[in-house]
Each structure stands twice: as structure tokens, then as C-alpha cells.
Amino acid sequence: MLHFHFQDIKKIKLKQAIIKQWLKSVAAKEKFNIGEINYIFCSDEYLLSINQQYLKHNTYTDIITFDYSNKEENIISGDIFISLERVKENAEKFKVSFEKELFRVLVHGILHLMGYKDKTSKDAKLMRAKEYEALEFSPNSF
């Protein structure tokens, strides 16, 4: 089950059923099933505090993913925290719509749960390719 939560920010309107179906199809394409996944939308400051407390990083980020998946059974589960402030700022920086950047970040979290990494340039290149592949069949055509 996919769940959307809002922490310390104003709730935004999401086409939840359509987004959930899309994310499930992204996982299915990689031979994974969705377990329990919580998307928690929050502010920069909220996500910074999580980054400091749990990862010992003192930097702003758009997403932090906590993975609780059962890879042996191909079931992905986790908590995915997303700063909507950072998504908005990145959308402006990369000259894309807020929706496109939000969808990229949503799928980025799912890809992390499936085992994709982005710490090395090689891993990041593969992650970006997977993001763009998923965006090609996202609910909105960009």
C-alpha cells in the first residue's frame, strides 16, 4: 500500500489513485511488488533535521529514503521523506514544471527501494536513466 502524508506543511492536491497506479507499474516493470510505502511530504527544515539526526549530514536534500524492503520476496517497503520546498526550488533550477520534478523525486525513492544507488557517478547515471524511463509513462505527459 502506498500512503501520502503531509508533515509541517500545507497539503497539496495529488491525483493519488493515478500516482499510486503509476508507481506500482514502475515497480512491476522491475519485478517488484509494493509493500508498505509511506511518502511523507515536508519542509526543508523538517527534512534537514532528519538528515542530521539519522544520517549525520548537515545538508538540505530533496529526498531521504528509509528502506524496509524484503528483497528476497521482491517486496519493497519504506518511508520516503520529500521536501516540497526543495522540489519547487529544483524545478525552477532545472526549468521543469513542479509536477515533473515531483514525479521524478517520487520515482527516485521507489528506485532506491529497489536497490538503485546514486552515490557514484556511474550509479547516478543509471538512476537518472531509470527516472527518465519511468517519467515517459507517468500520469502527465511532460
pLDDT at residue 89 tops 70: yes
**Domain CATH code at residue 106:** 3.40.390.30
**Residue 141 within any structural domain of the chain:** no
Which three three-digit cell numbers place residue 139? 500520469
Overall number of domains in the chain: 1
**Residue 42 within any structural domain of the chain:** yes
**Residue 142 within any structural domain of the chain:** no
Neighbours of 119 (CB within 10 A): 8
**Residue 98 within any structural domain of the chain:** yes
- Three state DSSP letters for 15-63: CHHHHHHHHHHHHHHCCCEEEEEEEEEECHHHHHHHHHHHHCCCCCCCE
**56-70 tens-digit pLDDT:** 999 999 999 999 999
In which band, very low, low, confident or very high, does the pLDDT at 129 lie, cut at 50, 70 and 90? very high
Which three three-digit cell numbers place residue 71? 528483497
Predicted pLDDT at 36: 98
**Residue 140 within any structural domain of the chain:** no
Nearest one of 30, 111, 77, 70 to 103, comparing CA atoms: 111
What pTM was computed for the model?
A: 0.94
**75-87 tens-digit pLDDT:** 999 999 999 999 9
Structural domain containing residue 124: 2-135
What's the residue count for the chain? 142
**1-25 tens-digit pLDDT:** 999 999 999 999 999 999 999 999 9
